Structure 1
Amino acid sequence: MKRAASTLAVICALGLAATGCSDATGSSSGAAPTGTVDATASLKGVKLTMWVAQNSVAEPKQVIDAFEKATGATVTTEVIPDPYESNVPTKLASGVKPDLMFWQPTGSTLPFIQPQTNLLQLDNEDWVSKLGKTEQSLGQVDGHRYAAIVTSPAVLGVYYNKAAFKKAGITTMPTSYDDMLADAAKIKAKVPGVAPFFEVGGDKWPLQWQVQAQLTDLPASFWDNLNKNKASWTDPVVVKAITKYKTQLLDAGLAQKNYKTATFVDQGKALLDGSAAMALNVTSLQSEIQASSSTQEMDEKLGWFPIANSSATAEYSPDQTNGVVAFKSGDSKRETAARQFMSFWLGEDYPAYVKANKVVSVESSVPNPDGLPQTAVAQAKALSSAAGVFQVKALTAPDMHLALADMIYGKKTPKQVAQAAEDQFDQVLKARGVAGF
């Protein structure tokens, strides 16, 4: 999903974690087997269920159709209503499980579905070694793999309108967050009627990205200490990033006038029609624009560059379409079939899958499909050196975007935004029984 997992909404479902929900199957350890899988072996009569989000219902269609044809199995998708990240744990807590499911493969979100209790281990699957470096780092909890990575994580960077940059005389891309703000000020001064940035207060979730980009200089030790309750979201660096977003971007008039109510769809339209010069967002914005325009139009009008606090480096942000997990069912045939489905997906079917879905490949041996916009090519190139967003680094990801939405309406100060993140972080980790909280 393009939104970060809504952890506050999930707390009500954390009885799943707090009670140590037992494995109802009893007969399956879920341990990772060894050896290769015959991905097209007959599975006639085997029926699998896969949970998907409303915005990812079409994602597995190609591979499901091909797998059913190759094996004789039946794979039925079931749409879980939004918000997916909170409704899934709630449904699992009721005792219902699918065989397969899309799920965000991060250390902050995998724990919500109790992987050690509920999921099959995938440590030794034949596709693991095929994954790229960044993709291999995802999908693991406590040293064990529980998710197959089928698409690259979303890449965070800046989409820009080429004509607006040309009018402002910007010929080289910024190499730090402050450089980007300076370019935004130049656009405001030299290109009347064009908003330097397009911000999305209406949908809220993209508000976090301007802050996330500024947190990239925080050392690994900060996140280690945060996860041990020895550091806090109220750290001056975090408060400074939130404050800079408010005072030097929003209050300085570097966003469009309706930034408090504008939507994600509005952002793509404004970027394409040139009424906005820049949008800091993840790959889902590219998909949104791509749905209503051609690759040729995108290449003509839009560019993309990576940005971090003090460098020209991107960030990556996994979402639920990147990862697929398989559940312990107690039925060895279904569990074997689920593993076989993943092996088929990331094996012989993968070239057809990336072509049908027009996505960047996660395997170096499988080339990207033809016809991708240059923004997608640039993001794929930037991924290998990208840093993870806080959904990757923190044990749980607070809904900072909700507190930032309160801030833009004058209901919270930057310090209160940081405190809200800290309070939620503590609350969730206490509910999960994490040591030190």
Structure 2
Amino acid sequence: MITKMQCATAVAAVVGLALGTSGAAQAEGLKLTVWHNTQDTPAVLGLYKAYEEHSGNTIELVDIPADDFQATTLTKWASGDRPDILEYFPNLANLDRLNPSQNLIDLSDEDFVGRSAIYDLGGRASDGKVYAAITTFPETWGLYYNKQVLADHELEPATTFEEVMAQCAVLSKAGITTLHQAGGSSWPVYATPLVYASGVTEPGWVDDVIAQKARFDDLDSPWVLAMQAWIDMKDAGCYNSDMTTATFEQSTNAVYAGEAAYQMIHSNIAAVYLDAAGGDADALDAAVGFVGVGATEPKTVMNAGPIGSFMAPKTGDDAQEAAALDFIRFVTGEGYPDYIQASGTFPIQDGVPAPDASQLLKDIKAAYDKGPRVILINQNVPGGDGNGLQVVSELSVGQLTPVEAGGQLQQGVAAAAQALGLPGW
């Protein structure tokens, strides 16, 4: 059940708020609902409170569970329900699902767009307009690893799937899980084939899919290759025995405790690792590192993530829309430097100083900088592999072969392309 909570009590005030780039609306003591991910970091939660203090308005958080974040958000959205502020995935495929030209305020002319190159990566829909304000360093996908486990077995952090498979032979003999999977949380299992497929996708492949020159179920498609690699690792005994029921928090705990060598997931989970370490950043840095990973050669897979990415839905209430814009301008403007310092992550806006980050976050930044960087394969595919979680779930328990799974993904792409009215579909 989705719950609501107040961030703080509103301060009685009269606040002048600009709507768009011209004109103004006056509002006082407004309550703004925010659909937010329950994995919001303490820094993001602090950003909501900072806005309350800045504006005199109140933020009411509507919890969207991280385990089923995308599906829950889309279900609520499809019901016609709207928040004042939406925290959600800012990539093209997910923005298109929201029918942004009709339902979201165009942010293209806002000042923050010109202060960051991140809008070359995300925040824009198919019409080229910016609908999402991104505040957080891009999600960088790779391997969290236990330093002591690797050292005890004289292994270096793996930077390719081939190296993970080779290390699996060593670690399995010692009774250590090589790559911890979390089927109980559904989406983390999806991460492994997603990262693999992203690393082997040839330039132009997505365009060929849209032009119907290539399919997801082709024998040489990135997805078929990726799902076969996932099965090969399962058959080799590289995964935990409770992989179908374990949660991603259990994965982080297993890696931190040295019960597993690796977890493949994105950089925003660093905060969950800090929780596993009881909030002790030094203990975490001593135990856990991070490295980028590719299929057959080192790569850094990345995307703009949902945590700290905000949209302003059109609600039909001028005062509420103006207040939502005021929130977005605050979190990308006056409130942004303090947020970066509190988060310990790296700024994406020009001229904002970086904080003194933990070693784990420095590892993540180093992986991002090292590259070569590639964008997640599903970011610009119609529908964004919207049925991918279900497909990989069925693959993981042997209900689908890799080619059959690719066929299911192809059906999802076709349905999305038809809904978007793409030519030829």
Q: Scaled by the length of structure 2, what TM-score is found?
A: 0.84
Pairing 1:260-275 to 2, within 5 Å after superposition: 260-275=244-259
Kept after mapping to 2: 8 A contact 1:42/1:72: no
Q: C-alpha deviations, 1:169-208, integer Å up to 9, x for none?
A: 124x44432233223323335xx12122212233231222
Report the CA distance shift for 1:85/1:66 in structure 2 as closer, same or farther (over 3 A): same
- What's the secondary structure of 2:36's corresponding residue? strand
Using the alignment, how far apart are the partners of 1:209 and 1:80 within structure 2?
Answer: 20
Residue of structure 1 in register with 2:376 after alignment = 389
Pairing 1:206-285 to 2, within 5 Å after superposition: 206-215=188-197, 216-237=199-220, 238-247=223-232, 249-285=233-269
Report the CA distance shift for 1:338/1:178 in structure 2 as closer, same or farther (over 3 A): same
- What's the secondary structure of 2:408's corresponding residue? helix
Q: C-alpha deviations, 1:200-223, integer Å up to 9, x for none?
A: 233231222222232223123101
Residue of structure 2 in register with 1:435 after alignment = 423
Structure 2, unmatched stretches of 5+, are 1-18
Kept after mapping to 2: 8 A contact 1:135/1:152: no
Report the CA distance shift for 1:327/1:213 in structure 2 as closer, same or farther (over 3 A): closer
Kept after mapping to 1: 8 A contact 2:113/2:119: no
Residue of structure 2 in register with 1:7 after alignment = none
Question: Does 2:188 align with 1:203?
Answer: no
Q: 2:389 is aligned with what amino acid?
A: H
Using the alignment, how far apart are the partners of 1:177 and 1:376 within structure 2?
Answer: 22
- What's the secondary structure of 1:376's corresponding residue? helix
Residue of structure 1 in register with 2:396 after alignment = 408
- What's the secondary structure of 1:277's corresponding residue? strand
User: Aligned to 1:162, which of 147, 154, 162?
Assistant: 147
Query: Which deviates further from its counterpart, 116-125 or 348-357?
Result: 348-357
- What's the secondary structure of 1:297's corresponding residue? helix
Using the alignment, how far apart are the partners of 1:407 and 1:106 within structure 2?
Answer: 26
Residue of structure 2 in register with 1:356 after alignment = 342
Residue of structure 1 in register with 2:302 after alignment = 316
Kept after mapping to 1: 8 A contact 2:88/2:307: yes
Using the alignment, how far apart are the partners of 2:147 and 2:44 within structure 1?
Answer: 34
Residue of structure 2 in register with 1:15 after alignment = none
Kept after mapping to 2: 8 A contact 1:157/1:305: yes
Kept after mapping to 2: 8 A contact 1:156/1:316: yes
Q: CA deviation at 1:246?
A: 0.7
Using the alignment, how far apart are the partners of 1:50 and 1:387 within structure 2?
Answer: 31
Pairing 1:115-134 to 2, within 5 Å after superposition: 115-131=100-116, 133-134=117-118
Residue of structure 2 in register with 1:137 after alignment = 121
Q: Scaled by the length of structure 1, what TM-score is found?
A: 0.82
Kept after mapping to 1: 8 A contact 2:42/2:343: no
Name the count of aligned residue pairs.
398
Report the CA distance shift for 1:250/1:101 in structure 2 as closer, same or farther (over 3 A): same
Q: 1:223 is aligned with what amino acid?
A: V
Question: Does 2:165 align with 1:181?
Answer: yes
Q: 1:413 is aligned with what amino acid?
A: T
Q: CA deviation at 1:349?
A: 1.1
Report the CA distance shift for 1:159/1:96 in structure 2 as closer, same or farther (over 3 A): closer
Residue of structure 2 in register with 1:51 after alignment = 35
Q: C-alpha deviations, 1:20-76, integer Å up to 9, x for none?
A: xxxxxxxxxxx96379x9xxx985344433222344496644233322333333333
Using the alignment, how far apart are the partners of 2:22 and 2:376 within structure 1?
Answer: 33
Q: CA deviation at 1:113?
A: 1.4
Percent identity of equivalent pairs: 24
- What's the secondary structure of 1:341's corresponding residue? helix
Report the CA distance shift for 1:224/1:165 in structure 2 as closer, same or farther (over 3 A): same
Q: CA RMSD in A?
A: 2.8
Residue of structure 1 in register with 2:276 after alignment = 292
Q: C-alpha deviations, 1:240-278, integer Å up to 9, x for none?
A: 22112212x110112233323322122111111112111
Kept after mapping to 1: 8 A contact 2:179/2:260: yes
Residue of structure 2 in register with 1:4 after alignment = none
Using the alignment, how far apart are the partners of 1:53 and 1:433 within structure 2?
Answer: 31
Structure 1, unmatched stretches of 5+, are 1-30
Q: CA deviation at 1:358?
A: 4.1
Using the alignment, how far apart are the partners of 1:328 and 1:119 within structure 2?
Answer: 5
- Relative contact order, higher structure (CA 8 A, sep 6+): 1
Using the alignment, how far apart are the partners of 1:61 and 1:201 within structure 2?
Answer: 28
Residue of structure 1 in register with 2:314 after alignment = 328
